[in-house]
């Protein structure tokens, strides 16, 4: 299967969450990212595996992606706490694992 550039970017984000979660003091804890990444690797070609799954990623990049995710998680959790029974729509979410990192029991969460 040939991955598109958008899919490759989504995988780098997912992998960054995994790498960050494995740190001693992670910015975010995202066990679902590891589960997804472990299951997605079988769909990648050998070239894509080398580029997307085994290539070293900069710690600055992984930290930046984790900080961004934590900030958006906080914004969404704040919105949900102020608007119980709300609807949260995650557009173009790709391999996003935010659903498992937020208080989704209080809202209807739609991934598109």
Q: Which residues pair with 110 in a beta bridge?
A: 89
Which of 93, 100, 47, 57 shows the shortest CA–CA distance to 77? 100
Q: What domains sit in the chain, N to C, each tagged with a CATH number?
A: 5-111 (3.40.50.150)
Query: pLDDT value at position 19?
Result: 94
In terms of C-beta density within 10 A (0-12 exposed, 13-18 middle, 19 or more buried), how is residue 104 classed? middle
Label residue 1 by pLDDT band (50, 70, 90): low
**Band (7; pLDDT cuts 50, 70, 90):** confident
What does the pLDDT look like over 58-101, one tens digit per residue?
999 999 999 999 999 999 999 999 999 999 999 988 889 999 99
């Amino acid at each position: 299967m040939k991955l598109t550039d958008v899919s490759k970017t989504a995988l780098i984000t997912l992998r960054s969450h995994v790498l960050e979660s494995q740190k001693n003091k992670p910015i975010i804890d995202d066990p679902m990212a590891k589960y997804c990444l472990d299951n997605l690797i079988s769909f990648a070609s050998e070239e894509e595996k080398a580029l997307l799954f085994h290539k070293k990623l900069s710690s600055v990049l992984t930290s930046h992606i984790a900080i961004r995710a934590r900030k958006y998680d906080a914004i969404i959790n704040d919105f949900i706490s102020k608007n119980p029974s709300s609807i949260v729509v995650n557009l173009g979410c790709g391999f996003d694992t935010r659903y498992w990192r937020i208080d989704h029991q209080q809202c209807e969460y739609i991934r598109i």
